[in-house]
Chain A
Amino acid sequence: QQPVQSPQAVILREGEDAVINCSSSKALYSVHWYRQKHGEAPVFLMILLKGGEQKGHEKISASFNEKKQQSSLYLTASQLSYSGTYFCGTEMGANAGGTSYGKLTFGQGTILTVHP
């Protein structure tokens, strides 16, 4: 089932902060965050795992609330280069080695625009 992202769009001035949320109605094993610029492929930002482990860019922070099946991406001191569409991809809590191994279901995206 597709995760729900909020807000749908955010407009910032350089230096401002933003939070993007991702919610699922299903139990999750992991949440992956990507940024995509127009006409380009999604670029990996971060993975958050059930149990608290995180892997990703040092300048990006995020959280994963396992009880609520929600993840939030925190963008601080935004730069012009942060502009793009942010997607969360969720992996269900299937057993490792099963057919859902690593399969991501993506949200509809959050469009972030940073102005000078």
Chain B
Amino acid sequence: DTGVSQDPRHKITKRGQNVTFRCDPISEHNRLYWYRQTLGQGPEFLTYFQNEAQLEKSRLLSDRFSAERPKGSFSTLEIQRTEQGDSAMYLCASVGEGRTDTQYFGPGTRLTVL
């Protein structure tokens, strides 16, 4: 257990529905990353927060994806109008202030879009 939690752990939805995932990072960490991982691939960067500020978003990320981190604590990732290609594991990683601090991954949310 890394101290990072994600909810839900599994989500099955129908194409076209909206889904929201939550990540609770390690409390003293001010940086939070979201990644997406498909079968047989490494995690792919989606977006990054430092405290409540979203500092970078992947150019590959559709405008159907949005993320927030109100008050610099937990973060949510929302996918609107889901498509079958959105099926993947969504991981968040919690990191301290230092550039070389370890990224601690949560257990992930596995999304299946039918």
Q: How far is the CB of B106 from chain A (nearest CB, A)?
A: 6
The number of chain A residues touching the other chain, given as a range, is: 20 to 34
Please give the residue numbers on chain B whose beta carbons come within 8 Å of chain A beta carbons, in ascending order.
2, 31, 33, 35, 40-45, 48, 55-56, 91, 95, 99-108
The 9 sampled A-B contact pairs (Cβ below 8 Å) are A41-B91, A44-B102, A44-B103, A44-B104, A89-B42, A102-B31, A102-B48, A102-B103, A104-B45
Q: Are B100 and A30 in contact (CB under 8 A)?
A: yes
The interface residues of chain B lying within 8 Å CB-to-CB of A96 are 99
The answer, yes or no, to whether A64 is at the interface (CB within 8 Å) is no
The answer, yes or no, to whether A12 is at the interface (CB within 8 Å) is no
Q: How far is the CB of B55 from chain A (nearest CB, A)?
A: 6
A41-B2, A89-B42 known; A102+B105 contact, CB < 8 A? no
CA distance A40 to B91 in the complex (A): 10
Q: Are A47 and B100 in contact (CB under 8 A)?
A: yes
Q: Are B45 and A108 in contact (CB under 8 A)?
A: no
Q: Are B56 and A99 in contact (CB under 8 A)?
A: yes
Q: How far is the CB of A114 from chain B (nearest CB, A)?
A: 20
CA distance A86 to B19 in the complex (A): 30
Nearest 8 CB-CB pairings of A with B: A106-B42, A41-B105, A99-B56, A87-B42, A44-B102, A42-B105, A106-B43, A41-B107
A42-B105, A44-B103, A49-B100 known; A103+B42 contact, CB < 8 A? no
